[in-house]
Structure 1
């Protein structure tokens, strides 16, 4: 947990710093990617690192207020992250499925989507702070989360609404967007090589990167969500704490995957990130401008505008 948390902090800070420093990376998609990096950074700092410390100590040492604050922070950043991925999936759907500009996803749309994601998460994670629902210890009692186990009517009503609006709705948007997107990509692969076809391949590469990020998020968070839903639906279900903690730790490790995927699957970002890490030295500099075959985020939008 400590290794993943520290890596999550370092890599997500790298994504934020590199994107802010280089205006070539400031495309509509990048606003959502930076928002996602901020969410992952928040989860690592407010969830992963405290959980590492309290688990090493063997008990939760932050008190009742600390439990509430940690549970709120992790839930807030986690749901904002899921909603942001929903925004990214819609953006990819629009760009890939409407490449000729019939529907345009612009910077203002990306910013609006990011703001809506954060506001939506804040609205639905604050009720436990005022008595509707609660944040309680979970698993081996070294971390806190929304109280899935209480059968109190008020708590149950909150959890059911929370799960429906903060997980089911974003998950449905992601699913619908990517089903349509994958169907379009299947059609794109049948096109002959042409200028339009090359532009489509640019979009396809970026779409694959985002699809990997979506898949990584869902794979890490679905076990936790499934466990919580099972506990909600079956009041007699008892899960051993050592088993229950596995989805918790697995979910909190998700903060490291998105920046890794972004760095390794985006050549343009990699060309800016490597000099940042190596204090200005870029071992790939001599060949970075010799080929335009590999797509980038910026070239994706440039090609779309050119069309």
Structure 2
């Protein structure tokens, strides 16, 4: 099948360097993160759909982010839990391709959604007087763009440009960062630039300008409505924390992939390579926690419209 590569036979244990106890511990950790990710993201989706006051343009992207995280938990976290508990990747060739594609598809869609949210918040906070208005159609366009962009750049390995392979200790699959073939390398480099570097750049630029704007407003004390200013600061703090959590989750994985791409002679211990992959899958828990504990609408459905533009 096109798009598939295994380090070895998928029916034999491939967890060399890690004891059975260590593999079991990883399975338990991933299981906890997966279940928590499913429960919390379902809670976010239900809360937004249930309460009318939460249905603002930004909520479209928040729901989309929760769906992306839910997909990562169901199609990435749970299979990894099972294969880790068994001590080897037991899902075979097709299972590796499907898991690798699903995790990459939902993961990149999630990253793109965070980028869309950063642009939304920049517009809402930096143009509060209507110079630029963020509307429902803009939110829908951002959501559609996130899915289309992720789909376009994660399907090539299914047709032979690039591949999906076992990663780390061999209990989960991902885009093949290690294959040095010209075709695979060209795909991985383009994939890294368009699916990691571009969204990261958008996020960093948007939030840097947003924070600079808030800093200047606070410094000049030109806001007559102090409560409104406090709400905007709270919104900025919530989103910045969310982005930092996302970067902490995905940056180690992206950095490892980049190191492997840049240095063909680099040998990464399978156990060390597994840690960033587990961090990436555990990130599905952080976003809903931030929404619940840092957003007063999720805490009481009362007070200022924190999420609205």
Q: For the Cα contact (< 8 Å) 1:86–1:170, is it kept in 2?
A: yes
- Asked if residue 87 in structure 1 is aligned to residue 116 in structure 2, the reply is yes
Q: For the Cα contact (< 8 Å) 2:41–2:66, is it kept in 1?
A: yes
Aligned residues: 280
Whole-angstrom CA distance in 1 between matches of 2:222 and 2:177: 53
Whole-angstrom CA distance in 1 between matches of 2:305 and 2:232: 9
Q: Give the match for residue 214 of structure 2.
A: 185
Pair 140,100 (structure 1): closer, same or farther in 2 beyond 3 Å = same
TM-score (norm 1): 0.88
Whole-angstrom CA distance in 2 between matches of 1:112 and 1:238: 42
- Asked if residue 198 in structure 1 is aligned to residue 227 in structure 2, the reply is yes
Q: Give the match for residue 187 of structure 2.
A: 158
Q: Which residues of 2 match residues 168-247 of structure 1 at below 5 A?
A: 168-192=197-221, 195-247=224-276
Pair 172,220 (structure 1): closer, same or farther in 2 beyond 3 Å = same
Structure 2 gaps of 5+ residues are: 1-29
Which digits, 9 at most, give the CA deviation of each residue in 1:152-196, with x for residues without a partner? 111000000000111110111001101111111111223548544
Whole-angstrom CA distance in 1 between matches of 2:230 and 2:126: 12
Q: Give the match for residue 123 of structure 1.
A: 152
Q: Give the match for residue 297 of structure 1.
A: 306
Q: For the Cα contact (< 8 Å) 2:124–2:134, is it kept in 1?
A: yes
Which digits, 9 at most, give the CA deviation of each residue in 1:56-83, with x for residues without a partner? 1000000000000000000000000000
Q: Give the match for residue 75 of structure 1.
A: 104
Give the superposition deviation at 1:99. 1.0
Please point out which of 53, 69, 76 is paired with 1:40: 69
- Asked if residue 144 in structure 1 is aligned to residue 173 in structure 2, the reply is yes
Q: For the Cα contact (< 8 Å) 1:191–1:197, is it kept in 2?
A: no
- Asked if residue 100 in structure 1 is aligned to residue 109 in structure 2, the reply is no
Two-structure CA RMSD over aligned residues (Å): 1.4
Structure 1 gaps of 5+ residues are: 273-287, 302-307
Q: Which moved more, 1:171-180 or 1:203-212?
A: 203-212
Q: Give the match for residue 54 of structure 1.
A: 83
Q: Give the match for residue 10 of structure 2.
A: none
Q: Give the match for residue 285 of structure 2.
A: 256
Give the superposition deviation at 1:222. 0.2
Q: For the Cα contact (< 8 Å) 2:223–2:229, is it kept in 1?
A: no
Which digits, 9 at most, give the CA deviation of each residue in 1:101-142, with x for residues without a partner? 101111110110010001000010000001100000000000
TM-score (norm 2): 0.88
Q: Give the match for residue 36 of structure 2.
A: 7
Whole-angstrom CA distance in 1 between matches of 2:299 and 2:46: 13
Give the superposition deviation at 1:205. 1.2
Whole-angstrom CA distance in 2 between matches of 1:96 and 1:200: 10
SS at match of 2:219: coil
Q: Give the match for residue 22 of structure 2.
A: none
Whole-angstrom CA distance in 1 between matches of 2:305 and 2:288: 16
Give the superposition deviation at 1:96. 1.0
Which digits, 9 at most, give the CA deviation of each residue in 1:11-35, with x for residues without a partner? 0000001101112101111111110
Give the superposition deviation at 1:297. 2.1
